Amino acid sequence: MQGLINQASTITMHKKPHNPNKQFLIGTGVLAFAVICTVVLFTLLSLRMSHKSEQMVHYTDIYQIELEKGFSGDSVSIYLNDSLLLNKKIAMDTIRLQIKRFSESNALLVVDNLTDKVTTFNLEEKGGRIILRKKEGIISMTSVDWE
């Protein structure tokens, strides 16, 4: 009996004690490795996408904007998207502006500076001649394709 007790005590003495700090350290290391791999992956993906988006798109289409009847004596601002093209009091009957298309989709905004009334028109993608007329305070647009 004495021999069995000695064998049991020697078995338990050689067994290493449970170390929770070591397990925590290993788990933290694995988690840090996973985070570093994720950051590297997303960095590579973002670099690949930024090269594709940096390519400039050049449009060859031209818009010719004409102010005709009804604008004489009015103070008008004309915007293409968010770019100011014209901001002045109209003295002549006909004014022509020519601008190169610079965006995929374009909107023409005509602002009456006296009343702050804004009239918006969506422009075609292929460019063309745009004729603006004002009658009884209402601005209308006629779009003519290039021939």
Q: What is the pLDDT of residues 88-145, one digit of tens each?
A: 888 877 788 888 877 777 888 888 888 888 888 888 778 778 888 888 878 878 877 6
Collapsing DSSP to helix, strand or coil, 26 comes out as: helix
Question: Same domain, yes or no, for 77 and 127?
Answer: yes
106 C-beta neighbours (distance < 10 Å), count: 20
Question: Same domain, yes or no, for 43 and 88?
Answer: no
Question: Same domain, yes or no, for 100 and 40?
Answer: no
Domain boundary among 34, 53, 72: 53
141 C-beta neighbours (distance < 10 Å), count: 16
Question: Same domain, yes or no, for 139 and 86?
Answer: yes
Question: Same domain, yes or no, for 17 and 83?
Answer: no
Q: What integer pLDDT is reported at residue 32 of this predicted model?
A: 97
Range of the domain at 48: 2-53
Q: What integer pLDDT is reported at residue 10 of this predicted model?
A: 54
Q: Does residue 67 carry a pLDDT above 70?
A: yes
Question: Same domain, yes or no, for 38 and 106?
Answer: no
Q: Select the more confidently predicted residue: 2 or 28.
A: 28
Question: Same domain, yes or no, for 82 and 99?
Answer: yes
Residue 85 binned pLDDT confidence (cut-offs 50, 70, 90): confident
Total domains in the fold of the chain? 2
Question: Same domain, yes or no, for 69 and 100?
Answer: yes
**Which element (helix H / strand E) includes 8?**
helix 2-14
Which CATH number fits the domain that encloses residue 107? Answer: 2.60.34.20
HSE, CB side, 13 Å, CA atoms: give it for residue 104: 2
Question: Same domain, yes or no, for 68 and 136?
Answer: yes
Question: Same domain, yes or no, for 21 and 71?
Answer: no
Beta bridge partners of 134: 139
Per-residue b or e along 88-103, where b marks 16 or more CB atoms closer than 10 Å to that residue's CB:
eebeeeebeeebebee
* Spatial separation of the C-alpha atoms in residues 123 and 134, rounded to whole Å: 18
Question: Same domain, yes or no, for 48 and 79?
Answer: no
pLDDT tens-digit readout, 6-47: 555 555 556 666 788 888 999 999 999 999 999 999 998 888
Question: Same domain, yes or no, for 40 and 93?
Answer: no
